[in-house]
Amino acid sequence: MARLEDGRCYWQITRDAHGLPPKEQLPAWCASRRGESTLVRELFGDAALQATELHARSSTAILFNEASGPDWLRVGDAAMAVDPLSGNGIFQSLSSALQAPAVINTLLQRPERTALARRFHQQRVEQLFLRFARTGRDFYAMEQRWAAQPFWRERSTWPDAEPLHVPADINPLRVARAPVIQGDLIEEREVVVTADQPLGIWHLDGIALAPIIQALHAGQLAEALAGLAPEARRKVQGWLLGQGYRP
């Protein structure tokens, strides 16, 4: 809630839609809720008891099954809507929008890569949605006082029990082919798939990582690192250590 200098008051409540009164009764119902709160009465005064203008919006997490078509692309809230209380909406919108130019350019300039470009966009929208859903879940799980109440209990266990970030482990790392952004186009390249980055990592500051992991699996990591410039070698070694590699 907030009270502006000109006297306007702003109050927001988030709850399950189940059990709410009919729409025409909502303003009075909200005024009654505000009147039950000592803090609201202290901040708003008599205005807290008035049935004023009401705006109701859904905060349900939504993911569209198709984020693109032959001549259209969904980004931001048009592609997915995440929980607003965990505060990731703007970042989500920007993240999905930043990849859009390369996807659109590929659809227009390289029609033979249409399926690849659409797969790239869909996978990243879905991964963003899942990551933000787990972020919201962890926020709700921080509630201790009312953790057993349905509102908090249901949101602190959705969408799953998988951790937001998986501990580093060098063993599951594998190389796969996946779509990536190259310049202003979508191309397919060899990437390194990790538990924390299931869509794969193509390069580290321009250093392709797939050959490094292939050399590691072949027992030729020392030779692969020796072929890099000193600064590049230090970067790759630091990345390997961050992935759980121990010489």
pLDDT tens for residues 1-27? Answer: 999 999 889 999 988 888 899 989 999
10 Å Cβ neighbour count for 121? Answer: 26
Q: What is the pLDDT of residue 11?
A: 92
Q: pLDDT at residue 132 above 70?
A: yes
Q: pLDDT at residue 88 above 80?
A: no
The whole-number average pLDDT for the span 27-33 is 92
- 3-state class (DSSP) for residue 127: helix
179 close to 120: Cβ distance less than 8 angstroms = yes
54 close to 27: Cβ distance less than 8 angstroms = yes
More confident residue, 193 or 90: 193
Q: For 165-179, what is each residue's pLDDT tens digit?
A: 988 999 999 999 999
**In 142-197, which residue ranges form alpha helices assigned H by DSSP?**
150-155
Residues of the chain with pLDDT > 70, as a percent, come to 99
| Whole-number average pLDDT of the chain | 92
43: its two tokens: 């901040």
Q: pLDDT at residue 57 above 90?
A: no
The whole-number average pLDDT for the span 203-208 is 96
**Residue that has been written with the tokens 């190259």 in this structure:** 182
Q: What is the pLDDT of residue 190?
A: 98
More confident residue, 96 or 100: 100
Q: What is the DSSP string of 13-30?
A: ----STTPPPGGGHHHHH
82 close to 136: Cβ distance less than 8 angstroms = yes
Q: What is the pLDDT of residue 202?
A: 97
Q: Which of 40-54, 58-72, 231-245 has the highest mean pLDDT?
A: 231-245
Q: What is the pLDDT of residue 208?
A: 97
Spatial separation of the C-alpha atoms in residues 174 and 102, rounded to whole Å: 26
Q: pLDDT at residue 238 above 80?
A: yes
**Residue 186 neighbours by CB under 8 Å, 6+ apart:** 102, 103, 106, 110, 113, 116, 117, 120, 179, 180
Q: Which of 7-16, 106-115, 146-155 has the lowest mean pLDDT?
A: 7-16
Name the residue ranges covered by the structural domains of the chain.
2-49, 62-155, 174-242
Q: What is the pLDDT of residue 211?
A: 97
**Residue 11 neighbours by CB under 8 Å, 6+ apart:** 1, 30, 34, 40, 44, 48
Q: What is the pLDDT of residue 87?
A: 66
Q: What is the pLDDT of residue 90?
A: 80
Q: Identify the H or E element spanning 9.
A: strand 9-10
Spatial separation of the C-alpha atoms in residues 54 and 26, rounded to whole Å: 8
